[in-house]
Amino acid sequence: MKTKHIAILIFGLLTIKGISQTEKEVLDFDPAFSHSVYVWLKEPNNPNVREQFETSLKKFLRNSKFAKTNFIGVPPKATRDVVDDSYTYSLIVTFESAEAQDGYQKEEAHLIFIEECKELWEKVLVYDALGLEE
C-alpha cells in the first residue's frame, strides 16, 4: 500500500514539474524595463492588412538585437468596464535596461517595421515602465 502512495506522489511531482516554468523561462523575462505598445489599425477587419502587420511585426521581433522577450496579443471581448478592448494589437517587450530600449528604438529592424506598417495604423500608444527594485 505504501509503495502505491509513493508512486502516486512521485508521478504527481513529475507532472507538476513538467508543466511548471523552467528556471530558464523565468529568467528570460527581464523585469528591468517593459515596453507595452497598443496599436489601432485603420482597417482592423481586413485580413490582408492584419496579415501584413503580423508578418512585419514578427520579422522585426525575430531580428531585434535588443528585445529580450515579447508577447503579441489581441484583445479579448471586455467583460468589465475597466478593460479597454478597443485596440487591434498589443505588444509587450522586455529589455535589460532603459539604454537597451533606446537602442531598440534606433535599430534597423525597428525602423524597417515602422516604414512597412506606418500606413496601416491610425493610432499607437506606448507605456514604458521601469521594474521595481527588490
pTM summary value: 0.75
What's the CA gap between 54 and 114, in Å, rounded? Answer: 12
**Nearest 5°: phi and psi at 82?**
-80, -5
Quick: pLDDT tens for 73-119: 999 998 999 999 999 999 999 988 889 999 999 999 999 999 999 99
Domains and CATH numbers, the chain: 28-130 (3.30.70.100)
The closest of 123, 25, 124 to 68, measured between CA atoms, is 25
